[in-house]
Structure 1
């Protein structure tokens, strides 16, 4: 394969027309990952996690929707802003037992709370009206231990 320097950078309305920016009308998922640090302990648990300890949590957010007129489902910067406002600002470098609603601060409980926060924010910002929705969240407590939820599971009342 030969690598080449482009002779000319594309210019909108000259080399590519605006109507060509939206290539399709298919649902597409986009994913962004974030980390935050927090401390917690578990109640009614007989193991080392009953003691106060901390984690570097990793949250993987997957959203889906239909591309807009310029070919974007949701701007990665908007996902980052929403994460910062709704999750990071509330949980990063905090004692989770103190800042979350009354619950055992397990990854299983936290992931549902996180879904509720993000889903509500998407509703308030009018993103859901455009067909963009949360598809799944994965919350890593350690590099090998995580909890996840999907849109299907969060919609069911089983």
Structure 2
């Protein structure tokens, strides 16, 4: 049986915990956020079922790293969601990808690099010290493409 504790005295800032205690370390940490979208596409120069128009429910996972701020956050998950919604998802969700993405064969391999670049551009203009470490793009529950920072840059 589990025991539950009722919190009677909720911690108060600057009384029970000091502001300088909110930041526990100065190390780089990675946070991840996952999204999904539905879209249609077809592949060019491909002899198989995917040469025909078809759709997927895609899943995207971002790994974003940075150093924690004064309250212990690398980046607010809400900020990642805002970037996704305003800068990336608008080109993808319920869209015909061959029309909405730059000229490319809309393979998972091409798309994951485009998504990586869009997130990286947004972070560079909006966030201090945050960077994309990886993006995974699942085309099906068992098939995905991945872009990693070490493959995208020469750092």
Paired residues of 2:59 and 2:139 also in contact (CA < 8 A): yes
**Residue 50 of structure 2: aligned partner:** 49
Q: Distance in 2 between matches of 1:7 and 1:124?
A: 43
Aligned length: 154
Pairing 1:78–2:76 present = no
Structure 2 counterpart SS, 1:38: strand
2:136 to 128, 134, 138: 138
| Structure 1, 71-80 or 3-12: larger mean CA deviation | 3-12
Q: CA deviation at 1:2?
A: 3.0
**Per-residue CA distance 1:5-43 (angstroms, 9 max, x = gap):** 112111111110000000111111000000011000000
Structure 2 counterpart SS, 1:139: strand
Q: Distance in 1 between matches of 2:154 and 2:94?
A: 33
Q: Distance in 1 between matches of 2:117 and 2:28?
A: 22
Q: Distance in 2 between matches of 1:132 and 1:101?
A: 26
**Residue 98 of structure 1: aligned partner:** 99
**Residue 27 of structure 2: aligned partner:** 26
**Residue 12 of structure 2: aligned partner:** 11
**Per-residue CA distance 1:104-152 (angstroms, 9 max, x = gap):** 0000000111111111111121x1xx32110000000000000001100
Q: Distance in 1 between matches of 2:154 and 2:56?
A: 30
Gaps of 5+ in 2: none
Q: CA deviation at 1:3?
A: 2.1
Q: Distance in 1 between matches of 2:78 and 2:129?
A: 18
TM-score, scaled to structure 1: 0.94
**Per-residue CA distance 1:65-100 (angstroms, 9 max, x = gap):** 110000000000000000111211111100000111
**Residue 151 of structure 1: aligned partner:** 149
**Residue 68 of structure 1: aligned partner:** 69
